[in-house]
Amino acid sequence: MSALVVVLLVVAGGLGAVARYVVDAAVRSRSAVAFPLGTVVVNLTGSFVLGLLTGLAMAQLLPDPVRLVAGTGFLGGYTTFSTATFETVRLVQERRVAAALLNGLGTLLATTAVAGLGLVIGLAA
């Protein structure tokens, strides 16, 4: 891995974290529900794009350095499993068990499904 790729990886990770903050804040400002919808939106969109990038890379349509920088760097900074887990635990502590199950299991199933969809689309490209 070249020094340039490492630098781009670091920059992309930072940009992904900023994008996560912006998307989460935008969703929260437009949502009246006491549910971590911003984090769900971030993880759904990030999972779909990562699946798409993976499919494109498997179809030999995306060079490895681009996959690394975009997938590992940007989307690694953008998506957030730890925040989703924390928010699920917080919902349990608030005795909002149905919301916690929706957030934990629902997000797991939905992100896996959209990642698979992105993969299929990328492979078909």
Is 79 annotated to bind a ligand? Reply is yes
AA identity, residue 8: L
AA identity, residue 52: L
End-to-end CA distance of the chain: 27
Pick from 9, 43, 19: nearest CA to 115: 43
- How far apart (Å, rounded) are the C-alpha atoms in residues 46 and 75? 6
Q: Which helix (H) or strand (E) holds 32?
A: none
Is 116 annotated to bind a ligand? Reply is no
Question: Binding site for Na(+): residue ranges?
Answer: 76, 79
Question: Binding site: residue ranges?
Answer: 76, 79
